[in-house]
Structure 1
Amino acid sequence: MVGWATAVYLPSLSIAALSLSPLAAGTNVFVDTFQVADEVSPAAKIAFAVIFGGSLVGMRMAAAKSRMLVDALVGVISIILVVAFLPEDWSRGFGIGLNGIRFDTVPTTIYVIGGFLGGIIFSLSEAQCVLHGQKQTVHQSAKD
């Protein structure tokens, strides 16, 4: 979940800060960030979540090595697929729905960076969960 949130809200912060969206009034970057993120269509958010999450599960099942790098690449590929294939009518506030251009250089770069960092954040949070689970297992075993 935190990887998905990073991939959604970090680009929204950048788009708001750079005034790439008409919703970014420029008065408060945090309010603008949430307005930009809220404007992104549910279809875009769900499509990314399904592709990103499904791909991460697939990578775990394939026992991929270099998880952080793989997760970052999964984030990048997932976001590019959504930008490339989400129909314009479903792209409100995202990709082609932001300014009428499917692969506009600045927003696409922002989305790709968000996907990359979303993958890294997912990998780091998963590692923390695994470590916490291992500590609890050791602690529970010591009690027995």
Structure 2
Amino acid sequence: MTTIGKRSTGELFLLIIVMLFIIPLGFLMFSLYMRGDMNIQPFHALIGVISLVVIILYVFLFMSKPKELIKHDFVNLYIEYQSSIVAIPLSDIESVISRRSSGEAFHYTFGKIIIKTKRDRYKIGHVGQCEQVAIEILKLRDSVR
């Protein structure tokens, strides 16, 4: 089997940068709160701790996703989700849509791919170079037909 789509490393890089800013800020706020220099309500401190835990859990969930998300063997397209593998016949694919992730002024190369078949619709997130992957899937589909 040949790999077409891989998990994006750009999103992981952005998450790690966010964590590098949030963790020291959280420790600073906690130390100021414990010394009494900062008048902060316990509710706000709890919200900060919960948001930090959520970000760390999201990074671990992101790391547990398979690295090779989309594969093919010139007959079927295989999509690897976290707990299952879905096989789609290339002849059943009707359309492929790529949606790049974006920030305020940035458009990243990673994003989501939506594959529409005659029966179902499959969404694959966190795909690196999603536009090239969509073009490759369409070329494979056209070569089978």
- Give the strand-richer structure, 1 or 2: 2
TM-score, scaled to structure 1: 0.31
Structure with a larger share of its residues in helix = 1
Larger radius of gyration: 2
Q: TM-score, normalised by structure 2?
A: 0.31
**Higher RCO, Cα 8 Å, sep 6+:** 1
